[in-house]
Amino acid sequence: MQRLKRSAKFAQATNLAEQADRGQLCLLDVCYGLGYNSAAAIETIWQVNPNCNITLYGLEQDPTVPIAAIDLLSDWSIPVQSALREIAETQICQTDRLTAKLLIGDARQTIQPLQIQADAVFFDPFSPRRCPQLWTVEFFQQVARCLSPTGKLATYSRSASVRSAMLAAGLSIGTIPLGKQHLLHEWSQGTVAAYTSTGLCPLSKMEQEHLQTRAAIPYRDLQLGDRPEEIFQRHQQEQQRSTLESTSSWRRRWQIDSV
């Protein structure tokens, strides 16, 4: 249930219900996994406009993950269940209102030939600590290239290094405000990025100041092919050379115990 709520948040943060009356939408799901973010998006769009034509691209390294979802589809409507099953089994799905392609491989490579203008990007890799290669300036440049001038990218990450990588890739950023229930040290549910700041929820003063600390030094991967260890090492060296405020002093100033 938690996962379903989280997937719906991506659809909400990218305003898909409001966009659905356009009749045609293009979605990019970075780290498709079980396909839940795509499923929630398709449900949201078709609830508003059952005739909306959707083009969906999913990027996923491990083809066994979407296959594993086949036994877990009962929460979705029948058309979405059959789309997810077909995408998992054949990596392609073509119906009268959905064209979907799942591109299997390292997203850093599979994104490069893509020539699309996505109205919504769901950005859902494992955390930067676990998968730094998908949170770099260079990868965000590729993702930004696939985003339409009016499209929105949503991610669960509120980290300063991720936000500054998005800014360095030419995007504006906004916060996803906290819901009613949250832990004391939390300050946001994630980040929305777009080419213009119109319609984005501005960062709080605390979040803006976070971007002035060493935590905001972004990960780099110049050729989109470095190993995580190389990316971490370069990042650590850059942090050591930095004259920016330390993140611990920012935490003390805002009385944040753990991040």
Instruction: Kindly tell me which of 73 and 216 has the beta carbon lying closer to ligand SAM.
Output: 73
Of 143, 198, 147, nearest to 26 by C-alpha is 147
Question: Quick one: which segment of 14-22, 123-131, 183-191, 246-254 binds ligand SAM (CB under 6 A)?
Answer: 123-131
d(CA 190, CA 38): 18
Q: Which residues pair with 26 in a beta bridge?
A: 55
Contact call for residues 44 and 17 (beta carbons, < 8 A): yes
Instruction: Report the nearest approach of ligand SAM to the CB of residue 206 (Å).
Output: 26
> Would you give the binding string for ligand SAM spanning residues 28-57, x where CB under 6 A is met?
---xxxxxxx--------------------
* 142/213 with CB nearer ligand SAM: 142
Per-residue tokens: 239: 């942090």
In whole angstroms, the minimum distance from the beta carbon of 251 to ligand SAM comes to 26
Taking the complex as a whole, the smallest distance from the CB of residue 240 to ligand SAM amounts, in Å, to: 27
Q: Which is nearer to ligand SAM, 7 or 191 (CB)?
A: 7
Nearer to ligand SAM, 147 or 154 (CB): 154
d(CA 38, CA 252): 39
- Compute the least distance from the CB of residue 123 to ligand SAM, in Å: 9
> Closest approach of Cβ 103 to ligand SAM, in Å?
9
Q: Are strands 172-176 and 190-194 parallel, antiparallel or unpaired?
A: antiparallel
- Residue 125 as a binder of ligand SAM (CB under 6 A): the answer is yes
| Under rule CB under 6 A, residue 106 binds ligand SAM | yes
Nearest distance in Å: CB 26, ligand SAM? 18
Q: Using the rule CB under 6 A, give the single segment among 91-99, 122-130, 187-195, 220-228 that binds ligand SAM.
A: 122-130
Using CB under 6 A as the binding rule, whether residue 88 contacts ligand SAM is answered as no
- Name residue 62's amino acid: D
Binding-residue pattern over the window 127 to 146 for ligand SAM, x denoting contact by CB under 6 A: ----x-xx------------
- List the x/- string, 60-79, binding to ligand SAM by CB under 6 A: xxx--x--------------
Residues of the shown chain interacting with ligand SAM in the complex, contacts defined by CB under 6 A: 7, 31-37, 59-62, 65, 106-107, 124-126, 131, 133-134
